[in-house]
Amino acid sequence: MADDALAFKTPFDEQIDFFRKKLNLPTERWDDIYQAAHDRAFIVAGAAKADLLADLRSAVDTAIADGKSLGWFRQQFDAIVQKHGWSGWTGDSSKAGRNWRTRIIYQTNVATSYAAGRWQQLNDPDLVKLRPFWQYIHADGVMHPRPQHLAWHGLTLSREHAFWQTHFPPNGWGCHCRVRAVGQAEYDAAAAHGRGPDAAPEAGDTEGIDPGWAYAPGANRLTPFAQLVEKKLLNLEAPIGAAMMAALRPLLLAEQSTVFRTFVEETLATARPQGRAMVVGALKPSWIEAASVGGIQPATADITVRDRDIWHAFRDSKSGKLDRDWYAALPQHLTEPQAVVLDSTHPSEPAFLLFFDGGDEAGKKLVVRINYRMKKLGTGNVVETGKLVNLDGVRAMVGHGYELVEGYL
């Protein structure tokens, strides 16, 4: 297939807009973020330096917006690699490797941005009124078609069908399948020929989709990045999740802070807790390492706040409580505690105690309970309580079941 054949028709506004709203995310591996999170982040595996990633992003942006060929992109890639002295990236040891890597970067971004733009177009209310059904189209002329993709050709379903959340193409590296909107007559015809809902894979069946591609590009373009990352964080082992969050923190902090402040206000406006929770930060790698030395293994790296703890802290407590505005800025404060102390006095309920200098006032203390079992989220690390404390008394605790992990008292 010729290089220029990789371009997906003429670029259009929705495609360009989708790509330009992504956040640059330095990463070491292609799967540092996964599936739907790619709607909000631009990554190139191994491009961990901000200026390098910015130049690569600029080249991809031009390729998408101006319909540039793969050959053009390869020239830009070579110049960027030389400019930054970038080495060690997968494929840099041979011309074939370089060709493979540039093809992956180029085609993946062109294809997913095209698909995301199409998702937006296909969901346009005016089009939905006329053509409320979607039909899977396998690309013609593919030399070695994937059997499953070919089997989905002509499958016609309602746009709300769960199939599209996982099978909206592309469904793998180099996939050129697409979706078109059709009306009632075409839907009925497809159903009559066995290409209707009964032919769709069962929910959860992603056979035929490459790892990392079982999502609909564009469907999460408006979802807060923090929310997408939260889902991944809760399923990662603590050291891996902590490292990921350390890299993501600059991108997430503003968004987390805004959402959490709203969460606090909504919680305090209710008559009782609603069972909601939000991830507001993450344990640092150094904290996890210190805990493991003491025989404590956090299962995940998340730091979660439940509405019930907010509600009890501010609705029940009449004295010694934290300032409400200070608490509402918790995502920011969690990145810069004055001191972190590991509390192992009760082995079955270990916790990190986070202290913050109150200036002329009493110090502030947060208790982050390690491996706390939550009904909906499973095991995590929960900000259980927060209050004002006398730091002189805290200093006397160290060495008696309390270990200073970071900072000073």
- Where are the alpha helices (H) located in 159-284, listed in sequence order? 163-167, 184-192, 225-233, 238-268
What local confidence, expressed as pLDDT, does residue 386 receive? 78
Q: For 160-197, write each residue's pLDDT tens digit.
A: 999 999 999 999 998 999 999 999 999 999 999 999 99
Q: For 207-242, write each residue's pLDDT tens digit.
A: 999 999 999 999 999 888 777 777 778 778 898 888
Mean pLDDT across the stretch 199-209?
Answer: 94
| Contact indicator for 110, 66 with CB cutoff of 8 Å | no
Q: Is the pLDDT of residue 324 over 90?
A: no
Structure tokens at 136: 């899977």
Decide which of 361 and 83 is more confident: 83
Q: For 52-95, write each residue's pLDDT tens digit.
A: 999 999 999 999 999 999 999 999 999 999 999 999 999 999 99
The helix (H) or strand (E) run that includes residue 285 is helix 285-293
